[in-house]
Amino acid sequence: AAPPVIISANPNSVPEMGGINIFVNGFRFVNHRALMCNFGGLATTKALWISTSRISCPSPVHVPGTTKLRVTSTNLQLSETFVEVTFEAMIGLHSVAPLRAVETGGTLVDIRGTNFVGPGDLYCAFGSVRSVAVVLNSTALQCVTPVHRVGEVSFKLARGRLALTNT
């Protein structure tokens, strides 16, 4: 049998800690126990067959960077076609200052940590309200507080739609 052909994958950017289902589109996907997803020749996960043109691949734990995602068929041959998947480095959060802000918003908040530079836009979430993060360098960024009622609010730093750090 001819090997599967991969056309696209969504999402194509996932956290390095794995655990995200990547939906792979293509053709010649066979519902067989040998249907596997191979990430750069280093990690293999069991594919979930959806149809002859769609499978789901759970992302493994992987070092940060971009790698080729290929699929094995019934004869354990890797597909000749591939898509690139980027494993994003986890953001490290070291400090947030100030810890108090006015309820009318507009307070500039300095955030220090690691891995702030990378694919995808970063944002700060104060409770459920997002604020654009201005990345100064890989260890420093700033956000402006939104209008908020008096009281404690959770803070989250996220990239794209994946929440990466909570405080």
Three-state DSSP class for 10?
Answer: strand
Distant-in-sequence, close-in-space partners of 76: CB < 8 Å, separation ≥ 6: 34
Q: What is the pLDDT of residues 94-106, one digit of tens each?
A: 999 999 899 899 9
In the prediction, which pLDDT does 164 show? Answer: 45
165 pLDDT above the threshold of 80: no
Task: Assess contact for 81 and 6: CB atoms under 8 A.
Answer: yes
Task: Measure the CA–CA gap between 167 and 114, rounded to whole angstroms.
Answer: 15
Q: What is the pLDDT of residues 25-67, one digit of tens each?
A: 999 999 999 899 999 988 999 999 999 999 999 999 999 899 9
Q: What is the mean pLDDT of the chain?
A: 88
Query: Could you tell me which of 162, 164, 165, 151 has the C-alpha nearest to residue 11?
Result: 162
> What does the block give as tokens for 151?
């009281």
**Paired strand residues for 70:** 38
